[in-house]
């Protein structure tokens, strides 16, 4: 018998199937967005004035992106995909002209170390904006983020802080091969950032059905693009979507590993198609630079840090090509002991393994980082989509954040709703944002979920960005606590997982008293990074008191106002099916 989650997914799927499954960039957000004076300190600007100027969030005509509402659901069923989520097709005419111009110049030689075609490029001039991570030099190689960093995405017309642009992130002139996983794509925009003439690319995409996958591959061949491959992680059976987001940017001497909350679309990276409009959507991104291993050979995975081992395992489960995995193993992971790779692998998982997934992967990460043995913990979770959550789900999340496994013998945490705050925008916050309601398509909560008597409504806080008027596509979990020995700690999760069982996995106690299988509908991945111990020096904490949010300064820029306002009778932003 289908669960209530499945029933609601089906309803959403049917609603989505009645919409166009692909939108051009100019269609994705219409000319009805609100204009907000970012220099104004007043909150009650005249409505007519604010709506007088029409915005067009993206004006790259001909670029194709996935229906934003599919991302909002974050677990679309197969019936929702009249055309697959992901890339919608290629401009064959334009690409055929490019292909003819290159006809006698192409040679393919797939390798994770060199692109199959490389044209000389002007070396990078100037340095990207630095922040808490200072560049280091290893045998003449400049590693800007040798220990990893979490950045806020750039937003047009907003002051620069500890943020990063997509160009600063990619460092395209130094990239030979790029493996990019995303749920939504803007093909033309991405190719303007990473030209396939110069950079070999593998796009890891969410496409269900072998016939559809083969059509995509054929479209790619017909377009004649050089250096381009498509890869499709398993999305059969109960798996709804490949929602994970990551990049492997191979250079001659370094590998940049990236885990963003953003899709590969212009709007998610804060860019716009004109000179006057501000950005309207913010995200966050983790990145780390690894040097090539001194021995120059494929390393042994058993000698990697837990971060490296879980990354390799995740890539293997996604059926990534061996030469890509071997390429990753040629880099030095020795400086990744302070971070953990967390994953959700789609499907049913009946037994515990050495590589637990879903919330169990978070549990393992907390243990690997020595952040378990917890006496008290406070959680602040910002997400762009909420599922049919209840106290049982909150219990499982809180246990995982403590490094504890959910079992039949585990006692319930008392007053579970008191220690968890979930940041999600109210209806008014979305309507008053720079982009207005038309930018809210990838922010999702259904009335059925929210109105359920088991939904923890008192945990919700209004997501109000510290950049006035910005909406959020972030998935960030902040944890602050005290260990049983009294020592304070804090860590942050950044990744693709929203607050839902689709993302983290659902697991129930069977009638015979044993644990049922862990059922995960989405592929997800993320990073846990701990706050350095020196940040707690000098803190005057009372008995049982946890560190303040200020301890995250220097580790991650908290992008929303915290503590957030309680709803107090206001309504959340609800999913609009059409």
Residue 327 CA: distances (Å) to CA of 228, 307, 335, 500: 17, 16, 18, 34
From the list 243, 343, 349, 355, the catalytic residue is 243
Question: Could you tell me what percentage of the chain is helix, strand and coil, using 3-state DSSP and rounding each to the nearest 5?
Answer: 25, 20, 50
CA distance 28 to 185: 12
Give yes or no for a contact between 327 and 290, defined as CB atoms under 8 angstroms apart. Answer: no
Reading the chain (578 residues) residue by residue, the pLDDT tens digits are 444 444 444 444 433 333 333 333 333 333 333 322 332 332 233 333 333 323 333 333 334 444 444 455 444 332 333 333 334 445 444 444 444 454 444 333 333 444 333 333 433 333 333 334 556 655 667 799 999 999 999 999 999 999 999 999 999 999 999 999 999 999 999 999 999 999 999 999 999 999 999 999 999 888 888 899 999 999 999 999 999 999 999 999 999 999 999 999 999 999 998 888 899 999 999 999 999 998 888 999 999 999 999 999 999 999 999 999 999 999 999 999 999 999 999 999 987 778 999 999 999 999 999 999 999 999 999 999 999 999 999 999 999 999 998 887 778 899 999 999 999 999 999 999 999 998 998 899 999 999 999 999 999 999 999 999 999 999 999 999 999 999 999 999 999 999 999 999 998 877 777 788 899 999 999 999 999 999 999 899 998 899 999 999 999 999 999 999 999 989 999 987 54
CA distance 519 to 387: 15
Give me the domains of the chain, ranges plus CATH numbers: 149-566 (3.30.870.10)
Question: What pLDDT sits at residue 223?
Answer: 84
CA distance 577 to 478: 31
CA distance 422 to 462: 8
Which three-class secondary structure state does DSSP give residue 10? Answer: helix
Question: What pLDDT sits at residue 170?
Answer: 98
218-251 in b/e burial notation, b at 16+ Cβ within 10 A? ebbeebbbbbbbbbbbebeeebbbbbbbbbbbbb
Annotated catalytic residue 343:
no
Phi, psi of 484 (to 5 degrees): -60, -25
Q: Please, which residues have CB within 8 angstroms of residue 290's CB and are 6 or more apart in sequence?
A: 143, 254, 255, 256, 257, 331, 332, 333, 335, 336
CA-nearest of 493, 19, 430, 79 to 261 is 493
Helix orientation angle between 210-223 and 92-102, rounded to the nearest 10 degrees? 50
Annotated catalytic residue 473:
yes
* Residue spans of alpha helices (H) in 286-358: 306-317, 322-328
Give yes or no for a contact between 333 and 301, defined as CB atoms under 8 angstroms apart. Answer: no
CA distance 371 to 406: 17
DSSP secondary structure string, 164-207? E-HHHHH-GGG-SEEEEE-SSB-HHHHHHHS-TTTSEEEEE---
Q: Say how many C-beta atoms besides its own lie within 10 A of residue 571's C-beta.
A: 12
Q: Please, which residues have CB within 8 angstroms of residue 390's CB and are 6 or more apart in sequence?
A: 452, 454, 455, 456
Question: What pLDDT sits at residue 457?
Answer: 97
Return the beta strands (E) in 292-396 as ranges.
339-344, 347-349, 374-382
Q: What is the DSSP letter of 379?
A: E
Which residues on adjacent β-strands are paired with residue 528? 340, 493
CA distance 76 to 56: 27
Phi, psi of 150 (to 5 degrees): -115, 125
Residue 487 CA: distances (Å) to CA of 102, 403, 405, 492, 557: 62, 16, 22, 17, 23
CA distance 302 to 290: 18
Question: What pLDDT sits at residue 473?
Answer: 98
Which residues does the annotation place in the binding site for substrate? 245, 475
Residue 323 CA: distances (Å) to CA of 112, 319, 458: 6, 11, 49
């Amino acid at each position: 018998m289908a669960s209530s989650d499945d029933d609601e997914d089906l309803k959403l799927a049917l609603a989505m199937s009645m919409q166009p499954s692909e939108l051009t960039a100019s269609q994705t957000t219409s000319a009805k967005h609100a204009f907000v004076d970012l220099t104004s300190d007043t909150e009650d600007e005249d409505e007519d004035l604010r709506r007088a100027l029409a915005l067009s969030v993206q004006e790259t005509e001909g670029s194709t992106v996935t229906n934003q509402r599919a991302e909002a659901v974050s677990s679309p069923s197969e019936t929702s995909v009249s055309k697959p989520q992901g890339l919608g097709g290629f401009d064959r005419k334009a690409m055929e002209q490019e292909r003819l111009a290159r006809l006698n110049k192409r040679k393919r030689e797939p390798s994770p170390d060199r692109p199959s075609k490389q044209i000389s490029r002007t070396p990078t001039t100037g340095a990207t904006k630095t922040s808490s991570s200072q560049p280091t030099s290893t045998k003449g190689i400049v590693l800007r983020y040798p220990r990893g960093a979490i950045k806020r995405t750039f937003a047009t017309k907003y002051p620069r802080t500890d943020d990063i642009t997509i160009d600063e992130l990619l460092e395209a002139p130094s990239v030979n091969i790029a493996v990019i996983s995303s749920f939504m794509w803007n093909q033309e925009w991405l190719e303007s950032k990473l030209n396939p003439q110069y950079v070999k690319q593998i796009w890891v995409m969410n496409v269900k059905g072998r016939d559809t996958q083969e059509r995509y591959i054929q479209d790619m061949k017909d377009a004649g693009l050089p250096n381009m491959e498509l890869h499709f992680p398993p999305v059969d059976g109960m798996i709804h979507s490949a929602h994970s987001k990551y990049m492997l940017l191979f250079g001659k001497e370094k590998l940049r590993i990236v885990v963003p909350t953003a899709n590969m679309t212009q709007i998610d990276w804060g860019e716009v198609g004109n000179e006057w409009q501000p950005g309207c959507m913010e995200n966050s991104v983790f990145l780390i630079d690894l040097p090539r291993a001194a021995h120059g050979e494929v390393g042994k995975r058993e000698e990697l840090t837990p971060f490296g081992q879980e990354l390799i395992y995740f890539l293997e489960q996604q059926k990534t090509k061996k030469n890509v995995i071997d390429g990753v193993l040629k880099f030095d992971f020795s400086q990744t002991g302070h971070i953990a790779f967390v994953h959700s692998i789609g499907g049913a998982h009946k037994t515990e393994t050495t590589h637990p997934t879903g919330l169990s992967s978070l549990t393992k990460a907390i243990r690997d980082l020595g952040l378990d043995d917890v006496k008290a913990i406070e959680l602040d979770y910002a997400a762009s989509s909420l599922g049919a959550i209840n106290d049982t789900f909150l219990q499982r999340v809180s246990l995982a954040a403590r490094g504890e496994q959910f079992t039949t013998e585990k006692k319930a945490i008392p007053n579970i709703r008191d220690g968890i705050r979930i940041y999600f925008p109210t209806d008014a916050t979305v309507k008053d944002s720079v982009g207005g309601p038309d930018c809210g398509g990838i922010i999702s909560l259904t009335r059925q979920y929210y109105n359920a008597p088991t939904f923890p409504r008192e945990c919700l806080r209004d997501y109000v960005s510290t950049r006035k008027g910005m909406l959020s596509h972030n998935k960030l979990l902040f944890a602050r606590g005290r260990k049983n020995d009294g020592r304070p700690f804090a860590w942050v999760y950044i990744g693709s997982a929203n607050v839902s069982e689709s993302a983290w996995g659902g697991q129930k106690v069977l009638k015979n008293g044993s644990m049922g299988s862990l059922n995960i509908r989405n592929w997800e991945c993320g990073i846990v990074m701990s706050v350095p111990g020196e940040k707690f020096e000098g803190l005057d904490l009372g008995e049982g008191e946890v560190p303040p949010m200020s301890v995250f300064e220097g580790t991650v820029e908290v992008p929303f106002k915290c503590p957030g306002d309680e709803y107090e009778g206001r309504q959340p932003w609800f999913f609009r099916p059409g």
